[in-house]
Amino acid sequence: MNLPLSDELIAEANARELAALEDDYDSLGRKLSRTGIDIDAIKARVADFSVAVPSWGAGRGGTRFAKFPIAGEPTNIHEKLEDCAVINQLCRVTPRVSPHFPWDKVSDFKALREEAADLGLGFDAVNSNTFQDQPGQAHSYNTGSLSSTLEATRQQAIEHNIECIEIGQQLGSRDLTVWVGDGTNFPGQQDLARSLDRYLEAAAQVYAALPDDWRMLLEHKMFEPAFYSTVISDWGSSILAAQELGPKAKCLVDLGHHAPNVNIEQIVARLHRFGKLGGFHFNDSKYGDDDLDSGSINPHQLFLVFNELVEAELNPREGFDPAYMIDQSHNVTDPIESMLSSAEAITQCYAKALLVDRAALHGAQQANDTMMAFQALRRAYTIDVAPILAKARAEAGGAIDVLGAYRESRWRTRKSQERKAVGLGAGIV
Ligand SMILES: [Mn+2]
């Protein structure tokens, strides 16, 4: 393996932090043992946890108004993989990258898989793109893609998704994530029922091309780019489509793709109940699909989502194996720093959910003791689990202080001297 940062840099940074970490870890261990929790067992669960990072998240995002690139930003999939390797080397919870096509297209995918493996990375779900036109494309997606009224356009979208499956097989992926921007901006623009029929018929052809051990993850989104109606707008449309397509079709919940204040943890529980929870995209939002950093606005909601995911782990339904991924847009920060911070926030919420006294919670629920049921969650939420994560990271070769070690590495500055500049322009990602 050929990791991007030097092990000595991480070891030296850790040496300065180790005594304080041991002290904090031992103290937290004594506190948890008083309630019968073995901190080392929690640490082992945390060490097993992982979340994928999106290849496109390695670059700076933007809004439809502007994008402000930074010097040293990755310009192609090879440089994106390098940056993702830096993230994983420091935090040790992001060993897989979710690629996006055609953005990450190369001529030799076997070589790309080896290149990633050499950086300590594998590939997660492949993402198709039928929401924008590519140079030289025969049919525009300006009428939609899988639900377009134009048969040739639908066929092109089907073929693109099947090509993504074929690429994913070469990369070692097992999931195809399908998000379509299809929808309308005007009442009457399209028939609401017939557009779903067209989507289902086209999606069934993609589904038919799935290898036996593959899943098709349907990602719903309430609005944008379409602002009046969206074909797969909510978890209801998503689960109906997944049920119609078959057992390999599952629903993917993106934290940002709902109406404000929707109870997303309940959606997680519902989808799991029917064996249809296939994956989760982590981000945060204030107004809508803002793609803010995970846990930056509402960490308590993130904890409540993980509380349901841990409940789901304890009560698995058929094939429960959710694909966890960060999906956010880094418009004003160094994307590596945002993903390090987000991976930490996500793993913290997972660790806190593991600390919930399930017997106390379920007992209080059964006894209709509302306050004690809530307190079972609150007690876990208020525990500072940072020492558990830091120790798990350090034992896996990562950094105790991930952002500190990253800044010390001067990675971005060094890359700004090697990589060519990214152009200006708008760019929702
Ligand atoms: Mn998403």
Cα(135)–Cα(379) distance, integer angstroms = 54
Spacing, Cα 327 to ligand 1 middle (Å): 5
Amino acid letter at 86? V
Spacing, Cα 123 to ligand 1 middle (Å): 16
| 3-state secondary structure (DSSP) of residue 252 | strand
- Residue 260 has phi, psi (to 5 degrees) of -55, 140
Contact by Cβ (8 Å): 127, 101: yes
pTM passes above 0.85:
yes
Query: How much is the mean pLDDT over the chain?
Result: 96
pLDDT tens per residue, range 230-256 = 999 999 999 999 999 999 999 999 999
Spacing, Cα 416 to ligand 1 middle (Å): 29
Spacing, Cα 254 to ligand 1 middle (Å): 5
362 pLDDT higher than 80: yes
Spacing, Cα 325 to ligand 1 middle (Å): 8
Cα(306)–Cα(413) distance, integer angstroms = 36
Spacing, Cα 185 to ligand 1 middle (Å): 21
Cα(412)–Cα(69) distance, integer angstroms = 12
Spacing, Cα 220 to ligand 1 middle (Å): 8
**Count of CB atoms situated within 10 Å of the CB of 123:** 26
pLDDT tens per residue, range 102-129 = 999 999 999 999 999 999 999 999 999 9
pLDDT tens per residue, range 369-413 = 999 999 999 999 999 999 999 999 999 999 999 999 999 999 999
Spacing, Cα 6 to ligand 1 middle (Å): 33
Spacing, Cα 379 to ligand 1 middle (Å): 31
Spacing, Cα 255 to ligand 1 middle (Å): 8
Spacing, Cα 42 to ligand 1 middle (Å): 29
* Alpha carbon of residue 332 to chain centroid: 19
Q: For residue 137, what are the CA distances in angstroms to 57, 153, 163, 300? A: 25, 10, 15, 44
Residue 122's pLDDT is what? 98
**Count of CB atoms situated within 10 Å of the CB of 204:** 16
| 3-state secondary structure (DSSP) of residue 190 | coil
Give 293-313 as a 3 state SS string: CCCCCCHHHHHHHHHHHHHHH
What count of Cα atoms within 13 Å lies in the side-chain half-sphere of residue 296?
A: 20
Cα(338)–Cα(298) distance, integer angstroms = 16
Spacing, Cα 386 to ligand 1 middle (Å): 27
Spacing, Cα 291 to ligand 1 middle (Å): 9
% of the chain beyond a pLDDT of 90: 95
* Alpha carbon of residue 163 to chain centroid: 22
Pairing of strands 96-98, 53-54: parallel
Spacing, Cα 315 to ligand 1 middle (Å): 26
Spacing, Cα 278 to ligand 1 middle (Å): 13
Spacing, Cα 280 to ligand 1 middle (Å): 8
Helices 192-208 and 151-171, packing angle to 10 deg: 40
Helices 335-354 and 370-381, packing angle to 10 deg: 140
Spacing, Cα 409 to ligand 1 middle (Å): 30
| DSSP secondary structure, 341-367, as one string | HHHHHHHHHHHHHHTS-HHHHHHHHHT
